[in-house]
A = this chain, B = another copy of it.
Amino acid sequence: MENRKVTIADVAKRAKVSPASVSRYLNGVEGNLSPDTADRIRQAIDEMGYQPNAWARSLKTRRSGLLAVVAADLSNSYVPSVLDGIDSAANDAGYSLIIGNAKNDQSREAMLLERLHQQRIEGLVLQSTAEHSSGPLRSLMESGIPIMLIDRSVDGQSDLDLVALDNRGAISMALGHLRAQGFSQIIYVTDPPDMASSRRERELAVMASRSSWAAVRVVVRRDATPAALVEAIGDLLTDSERTAVLCSNAVATLYALDAIQAGGWAVPGELGLMMVDNPDWAPYVLGGITSVAQPTHDLGRQAAMRLLHRIRHPAIPPMEMRLPGQLIVRKSTQ
C-alpha cells in the first residue's frame, strides 16, 4: 500500500468519519469514540498504511518529540557510552535523539546549536567545546529550551544544570590508592586543560594534593611530543622511589602506553600505571590497568531524565550533580 501521501483526511473519508475523530483515535482522547467508529478507523489506517505526520502535529502542538545531544568529540570513547545512557532514557519517554558532533570546534558547535534551535528541539544535552556560552547557546537559553550540561561546565557557575564526574573525588581516590600501594612519585598525564573544565578540575586536584603529599613531580600535557613523556619517566626512574603514571583519561592512557612501550619499562614492576576512565580494554592491557571508572552510562541516563523532568517543570532551579567514580584495582598498580 503506497502511503506516500496518506493523510488523516484520507483515512477519515475511508472510515466515513471526520478528520477530528481520526485525530481523537490517534491520540486516545478521553471523550471516547464509539467502539464501532474506532474499529472502522483502525481498519482504514491499516488498509492504507497511514503514518501520522510528525511535523504537522508538532506545528500544532508545539512539541517536537526531539531531544539533541551535542558532543565535543564523538571519537572519544566517553561519548558513546554516555550517549547510550541518554538514548535509553529518551527512548523510554518516547523522544527521538538528534546527535551533533562538534569535533572540538567551537564554531562548528555554534552552527549545530543554531540548526537545532530551528529544529525546535525540546531539550539539549551539551558537552561543550567552549568555555563560554556562544550566541546560539544563549539564544537557546532565552527561548526557554532546557539545557543539561554534561562533563564540563560553561561560564563557570552558570544558571544551567550540570551532570559530571566528581573530579576532585576521583583524583583523590586515585592518589589515595597509589599512596597506599607505596608509590612515592607520580607523573600525571593529561590533555591540555583549556576548553574543558573537567580536565582543569582534575589537574587542579592533582596539584592541590601536593600540599598534603609532595609526591606529584611532573605533569605532562599530551600536546608535548611523545618523547617528552619517555624522557620524563626516564628521569624520575633514576631515583630509588617507586613511581607511577596517572592518566587523566583513556585517550591519555593510550599515549602513556606508547611511551611505556618505547621505554621498555615493566608494569607494575618498574612503573605503576592507572587512569581515570574504565574503557573495555582496561582489564586486558598489561594484565589489567587500575582505573577510576566513570559512571558514564548512568551519567547519560541521569542527565536525560533530569532534562525530561525539566521539560515538564521548567521552573525548577538548576543544579549541579556530581557522580562518584569507582576505584577498580588491577595488576598495574600492585
Contacts and interface: CB of A to CB of B under 8 A. Distances in A.
Contacts of A80: 74-75, 77, 79-80
B96 A116 contact: yes
Contacts of A66: 98
Contact of A59 (B55, B77, B143, B285): B55
A261 B288 CA distance: 10
B100 A2 contact: no
Interface stretch (A180-188, A196-204, A276-284): A276-284
Interface string A101-118: 101000000001011111
Given A99-B87, A101-B84, A285-B281, A118 B52 contact: yes
A54 B119 contact: yes
A81 interface: yes
A129 to B, nearest CB: 15
A263 interface: no
A99 to B, nearest CB: 5
A157 interface: no
Contact of A77 (B53, B54, B77, B251): B77
A332 interface: no
A142 interface: yes
